[in-house]
Amino acid sequence: MECFNINIITSKGMLPVRLGIKGGRMASFSTIGAADVKPSLALIPSVIDMHVHFRDFDQRNKETVASGSKAALAGGISAVCDMPNTIPPVADKKTYLRRQDLFSKDSVCDYLINFCVFDEYSMSQAASVDPFFIKVYLDETTGSYILDEALLEKVFMLQKPIALHADHSGMRKAIKFSKKYSTPLHICHVSTKDEVMLIGKHKDNNITCEVTPHHLFLSGIYDVKPALCTKNDRDALWAALGGVIDIVASDHAPHTSDEKEKGAYGVSGIEAMLPLMLTALNRGQISYETFYRCMHANQKRILHARGRDFGMDGGSRADFTIVDFGDSYTIDAKNFYSKAKHSPFDGMSVDAKVVETWVRGMPFFKDGEVVSGARGKEIGRK
């Protein structure tokens, strides 16, 4: 059994503990004295980014599963949930199996695969696969796989968990069908006060939602969908974080520099998300309870509700990230592992650096590099 002493981030603050890992799982956990740990180091349990676009297929110039998963580990992310608006889209059983095979061969972090429904054929194919989410687009996005709203109710009748990209009107319709058919609904990249109020009014155990770092931290003009919001909207997003808004997810959407300069939508964000949120924590912008909920506990709850084996508890998988609050730095997109070496966060100062990322009880990222032999797996059922 491998044991070490470290501060762990909990809902109540830093807790010095002695951890024991055996067979890729947490074997022991006991509190110790503060003098027995390095003060600047902290462990964050089981960080998953539940909204990434790793492109590949016919868009390898933008990002590959290999480059995107390396970026995830470098950003302190042990697992990702991959979106299906690829070229070709993950919208039939053959392409879904091809996507699974690609991740099994090339990913260095763990993963979940989604499926896209945008017409009658893809909806018929959805019954033959077992994705984490069926992704439904009701509003403009990269790829333009927009569902005819006349088919929206039929998708909810499948009673498979749905991830939704929509404006306020589309959210309202989806919420109605989620309640009618008891279909789990996850609303992506909430960006306005009005959306927070709508979701808060109707939220139940089947309805979850996310916010991105760029909608939390940025305003002004940057090409992204949904658009960056006003300060009033941002204040509402921060206030709802960990409550109405369950989780933070990067919506990592890589493009080439030329495409980005011409207005392509998306942020290369997977390597900045955790350092930015840790900075908000360190500077008192959010509480430990809020950070713990939106970066760990609520992700674990969502995965457990779908029967997936993820989240650090006694006897569970040993997935975690170690960061150093004594190592502040300035974000420099040129150093990203992602192929998309541009970012609206370029030049921002952050207060903590990712030191190690562990997956299933093994270090997959250490000393600034992906560990040789790191190999991702699809997150299985409990």
Nearest in space to 110 (alpha carbons), one of 322, 300, 380: 380
Nearest in space to 299 (alpha carbons), one of 172, 56, 110, 38: 110
Q: Is residue 110 among the annotated active site residues?
A: no
- For residue 8, the one-letter residue type is I
Task: Label residue 180 exposed, middle or buried (CB < 10 Å: 0-12, 13-18, 19+).
Answer: exposed
Q: What is the dihedral of CA 53, 11, 379, 125, to 10 degrees?
A: -60
* Contact call for residues 208 and 302 (beta carbons, < 8 A): yes
Nearest in space to 272 (alpha carbons), one of 104, 78, 71: 71
> How far apart are alpha carbons 113 and 104 in whole angstroms?
11
Q: Of the listed 49, 82, 106, 251, which one is catalytic?
A: 251
> How far apart are alpha carbons 310 and 210 in whole angstroms?
18
What number of helices (H) and strands (E) belong to the chain? Answer: 12, 19
Nearest in space to 293 (alpha carbons), one of 211, 171, 194: 211
* Catalytic residue IDs: 251
